Amino acid sequence: MKRTVFVAVIAVMTVCINLVVHAHDDHDAIEDFSDGVTVTEVDCTLTDGTETTCYQTESTSIPVFEIGPFCPETLDDTDGIWEWDGENPGLYLMNREFFMMLDEQGYTFFDDEGNINIAVDDPPPAPGDIGDTHSCVLHTVHEEVIITALIPIEPVLADTPTNLGNVAQVGIGIDGVPIFADAPSFFTTGNMPALDECGGHMDPGGWYHWHATAGDIDSSFEYEGLEEAHCHLEQSASALFAYAYDGYPIYGSAEPDGSLAEDLDECNGHVGPTPDNEDGEYHYHSTLDFPNLPNCLVGVVAEDNFVTTADSGIGSANETESTEGGQERGGQGQNQPDFSAAAEQLGVTEQALQDALGQPPNFETAAEELGITVEDLQDALGGAPGQ
């Protein structure tokens, strides 16, 4: 899944001078959000203690556009996409060819009649307890969930960037749809909560969210060699897609003139002109490789910046009881494995563990390189503190 990014202090200092003076520069972000998203200004506190003002967005669980399909019903159907991180890693359409490839690797997702095993709201197994039968996971749509997010109006640069691990909070789309980093690996859950071809799916709380920059996802499909996939939403590689939770905007992979964005920092951002600010401001760009989201956030996020009225799932009052990956989850970036504890359990160094896993992580290759079983590796990472 998404590579883990370690940002050098020197790189942070390099962008710091520009970030301090380039924020929104007279640009009113309220105007950027789509109809149906309520945006107000409220007092808020950032996680570094800064008292400031935030945009508060409110949106509903189901966007105005058509979502899905997610899981195919049979081997003869083609619905949804998934980034596979085992043998033959890559981004795939979920079709017969994909599921037969997994079956050859020992992971069967269908019965003797070719029907795909679909689990509706069934909790996935505990980490490290993956059986022989696997499912494509669907979560029920809850139409009355309200999603509230906070975005700092004047971004504040963090001392060090925040790396974005699995399901970490990235930002809020201008359509009001929440954005999260990578979906949990199959090798953690034993199941796949399929994404639709726009890179989104349902949380256990019943609301739709992104795991990709949907407005430029077709560029990723082309880059990944998946040209038969297509998102039905309007595509623009240079358009504004979202605001990250640190307040900086997220655009597609291209500059206003259509050229590929260059001179980007470790978080895939830089200072430069945008369609909304020709004088230049700090902003993120989507990547070409999938999932095509920024790798980290350079700014400070607001406390309690994501809340839902759902009965379960991320942002709910019962957040730790139900998550999309079957793992407990806290705030920004807290869903990453404790590599130190996992390395100690396996009897290897932390650096050796991370080097063996590679990017994207490949459990089978890593287990072979470390001289351990895949099951032991899954147990160490899935059972480590913080999961």
With beta carbons less than 8 A apart as the criterion, state whether 307 and 54 touch: no
Comparing CA positions, the residue from 192, 351, 171 lying closest to residue 244 is: 171
Return the sign of the alpha-carbon dihedral for residues 281, 34, 177, 77. negative
Query: Residue 376 — pLDDT band, cuts 50, 70, 90?
Result: confident
Name the amino acid, one letter, at 101: M
| Total Cβ atoms within 10 A of residue 180 | 24
Least confident of 134-138, 177-181, 300-304: 134-138
- The reported pLDDT for the residue numbered 149 is 97
Question: 60 near 147, Cβ under 8 Å?
Answer: yes
28-60 tens-digit pLDDT: 788 899 988 999 999 999 999 999 999 999 999
CB 300 within 8 A of CB 246: yes
Q: State residue 65's pLDDT score.
A: 92
Percent of the chain with pLDDT over 90: 57
Which has more confidence, 154 or 386?
154
The more confidently predicted of residues 318 and 239 is 239
Cα(48)–Cα(156) distance, rounded to whole angstroms? Answer: 9
Q: CB-based contacts of 336: which residues, under 8 Å, 6+ apart?
A: 4, 163, 165, 166, 168, 386
Domains of the chain, by residue range, sit at: 1-336, 339-382
> Which tops the pLDDT comparison, 58 or 349?
58
What is the bridge-based pairing of β-strands 200-202 and 178-180? Answer: unpaired
* E strand segments, 17-89: 38-45, 51-60, 81-84
Query: Who has greater pLDDT, 270 or 331?
Result: 270
pTM for the full model?
0.78
Q: What secondary structure letter does DSSP report for 30? A: G
Tokens of 81: 């996409």
Q: What is the pLDDT of residue 358?
A: 62
- Where does residue 21 rank: exposed (0-12), middle (13-18), buried (19+ CB within 10 A)? exposed
pLDDT bucket at 132, cuts 50 / 70 / 90: low
Residue pLDDT, tens place only, 250-262: 999 999 999 999 9
Nearest-angstrom CA–CA distance, 337 and 83: 19
pLDDT of res. 378: 75
The pLDDT tens digits for 79-120 are 999 999 999 999 999 999 999 999 999 999 999 999 999 988
Q: What number is the average pLDDT over the span 138-146?
A: 90
224/127: higher pLDDT: 224
AA identity, residue 191: N
